[in-house]
Amino acid sequence: MKTFIIRRLILLIPIVFGVMTLTFILIHAIPGDPISVIAGEQSRQLTPEERDRIAESLGLNDPLIVQYVRYIGNLFRGDMGMSIATRAPVSYEIAERLPDTLMLTASSMFIVILLSLPIGIISALKRGTWIDTVAMTTALIGVSMPAFWFGIMLMLLFSLTLGWLPTVGQGKTTIDYIKSLILPSVTLSMVLLGLVTRMVRSSMLEVLNKDYVRTAHAKGLRNQFVILRHELPNALIPILTVITGQFANLLGGVVVIETVFGWPGIGRLTVNSVFRRDYQVVTGAVLIFSAIVIIISLITDILYSIIDPRIRLQ
């Protein structure tokens, strides 16, 4: 196990390196330069000399390969560089936002678990009935809507019409914070709800189809809930691993939702920085993002092997 983890951690390095290089190439391949964008946001005309002077001061005039080597060198010293738009360190920009994004994804996970278990179990128990149909349709409806539209619909209903929840931004006190977290996390949880409910349902069906369960049923142990109580934990473990495996997917889904709800997260930062050609912020944010994804997938793999010893870690 130990060697497996070490091996995987070593493997992480080339992947992160690859991600970083690809990001670096992609972001520089996009037409446009940060200085024109920043000046343009202000409709200021910069003469070519002006642009050149600012570019020089930011080190943007050096050949790409020089910038790349310098970036890697700084990275090894723990310096992720500076944002061109805000002149703040990239590590500051990321550190300010990462906890917010993690909070949002974690609370969406919580909502997914909270909703998918009952819906999935009920629809498995009532398989083929109209209850099954209604339950599964409910679980799928959220994922079938474009997230930004669904989010605004929720906001119209719960914030404007009913006045229960705040609209945009983050609450300051604990209670306000939780309130402001509800709408974005519900919207985000829809990304996964359909998938996880489906998983719960089929795991349950698997359990219900097992011979001894059928036998018990045949013997007159009519209450399936009794069986469920014993079997549920076993059925849940693969579901949980699937959920952790979907963490990356959730992180991807935050871009739009953070924008709609004004949530100060890393997804919004990344996309805005792509638009601003803020090279080092994009590279840094993607780097952190992919490291999280890789580490979570490592944890998932370890979980798998613990649950199912047949899967050997090699």
Partner 1 sequence: MAEKVIKLNVGKEKVAKSNSTSLTSITWRQIKKNRLAILGAITLLLLTLIAIFAPIISPYNPYETNYSSVKKPPSAEHLLGEDELGRDVLSRMIYGTQISLLIGVGVVAIAMTIGVPLGAIAGFYGGISDQIIMRIVDILMAFPFIVLAIAMVSVVGPGLLNMMLILGGVTWIWYTRLVRGMVLSLREADFVVAARALGASNRSIIFRHLIPNVLGVVVVQASFSVAEAILASAALSYLGLGAQPPTAEWGAMLSSAKEFMRTLPVMSIAPGIAIMITVLAINFIGDALRDALDPTLRQ
Partner 2 sequence: MKRVHVLLFSVLILLLGITVAPLAAQDEGPCPQMGGTFTFGVDSMIPFDPLTSNSDWSYYVITNVFSMLFRIESGQPVPDLAESWDISEDGTVYTWYLRPGMMWHDGNEIFAEGESREVVASDVVYSLMRSVEDTGSMLPADMRQVFESIEAVDDYTVVLTLNAPDAIIYDKARGLTMTPIIPKEAVDFYGDEFGLHPIGSGPFEFVSYSPDEEVVLTKNEDYFIEPCLDSVVVKVMPDVSSAMIALEAGDIDWWGSVLPGDDYDRFNGDDRFQIINFGCPVETRITFSVNQAPFDDVRFRQVMAVMKDGQAINAALRGSTHVHGGGTAGPGVAGYVEDLYDTYYTYNPDLAKQLLDEIGIVDTDGDGLREWEGENMVIPMYSGNSAPFPDYVAAMVDAAANVGLTIEPVITDFGTFSATRNNGEWGIYQEAGWCGEGGTNSLWGEGGFASPLGYADDQIFEWLAQAAVEMDEAAREEQLQNATKRIAELYWDPSYGFFNIFTVKRSYVKDFFGGEWTLNLVTEDHNVWIAEDER
User: Which residue in the set 14, 31, 146, 220 belongs to the binding site for partner 2 (CB under 8 A)?
Assistant: 31
Q: Residue 128 touches which of partner 1, partner 2, none (CB < 5 to 8 A by kind)?
A: partner 1
Rounded Cα gap, residues 167 and 201, in angstroms = 34
Looking from the CA of 251 toward its CB, the CA atoms found within 13 Å total 22
Q: How far is CA 194 from the centre of its chain?
A: 16
Q: Which does 228 bind (CB under 5 to 8 A by kind): partner 1, partner 2, none?
A: none
Q: Which stretch in 191-199, 226-234, 240-248, 270-278 sits in contact with partner 2 by CB under 8 A?
A: 270-278
Residue 206 in tokens: 């698997």
Q: Under the criterion CB under 8 A, does residue 269 sit at the interface with partner 2?
A: yes
Burial environment of residue 254 by CB neighbours within 10 A (0 to 12, 13 to 18, 19 or more): buried
Residue 147 token pair: 């997230």
54 sits near partner 2 (criterion: CB under 8 A): yes
Separation between Cα atoms, residue 15 and residue 155, nearest integer Å: 39
Q: Site mask, partner 1, residues 195-234, x = CB under 8 A?
A: x--xx--x--xx--x-------------------------
* CA separation, residue 186 to residues 6, 211, 241, 261 (Å): 37, 38, 21, 12
List 255, 263, 276, 281, residue binding partner 1 (CB under 8 A): 255
Regarding 131 and contact with partner 1 (CB under 8 A), the answer is no
Q: Name the token pair of 111.
A: 């909502």
* Residue 47 DSSP symbol: -
Joined tokens for residue 269? 């930062």
Q: How far is the CB of 159 from partner 1 (least distance, A)?
A: 13
Which among partner 1, partner 2, none contacts residue 19 (Cβ within 5 to 8 A by kind)? partner 1
Quote the least distance from Cβ 78 to partner 1, whole Å. 21
147 to 206, contacts with partner 2 by CB under 8 A? 148, 151-152, 155-156, 159-160, 163, 166-170
For 254-313, the DSSP string reads HHHHHHHTT---HHHHHHHHHHHT-HHHHHHHHHHHHHHHHHHHHHHHHHHHHH-TTS--
Choose the contact partner of 175 out of partner 2, partner 1, none; CB within 5 to 8 A by kind: none
Dihedral of the CA atoms 30, 36, 37, 41 (nearest 10)? -160
Q: Where are the alpha helices (DSSP H) in the chain?
A: 2-29, 34-41, 48-57, 64-76, 90-125, 130-143, 147-154, 174-209, 211-218, 224-245, 247-260, 266-276, 279-307
Select from 120, 166, 238, 265 the one that contacts partner 1 (CB under 8 A). Answer: 238
Q: Which of 246, 261, 276, 280 binds partner 1 (CB under 8 A)?
A: 246
What does the binding site for partner 2 look like in residue numbers (CB under 8 A)? Answer: 30-34, 36-47, 49-50, 53-54, 56-58, 82, 85-89, 92-93, 96-97, 100, 148, 151-152, 155-156, 159-160, 163, 166-170, 259-262, 264-265, 268-269, 272, 275-277
The residues that touch partner 1, with contacts defined as CB under 8 A, are 14-16, 18-19, 22-23, 26-27, 29-31, 128, 133, 136-137, 140-141, 143-149, 152-153, 156, 194-195, 198-199, 202, 205-206, 209, 238, 241-242, 245-246, 248-249, 251-253, 255-256, 259, 267, 270-271, 274, 282, 286, 289-291, 293-294, 297, 304, 308, 311
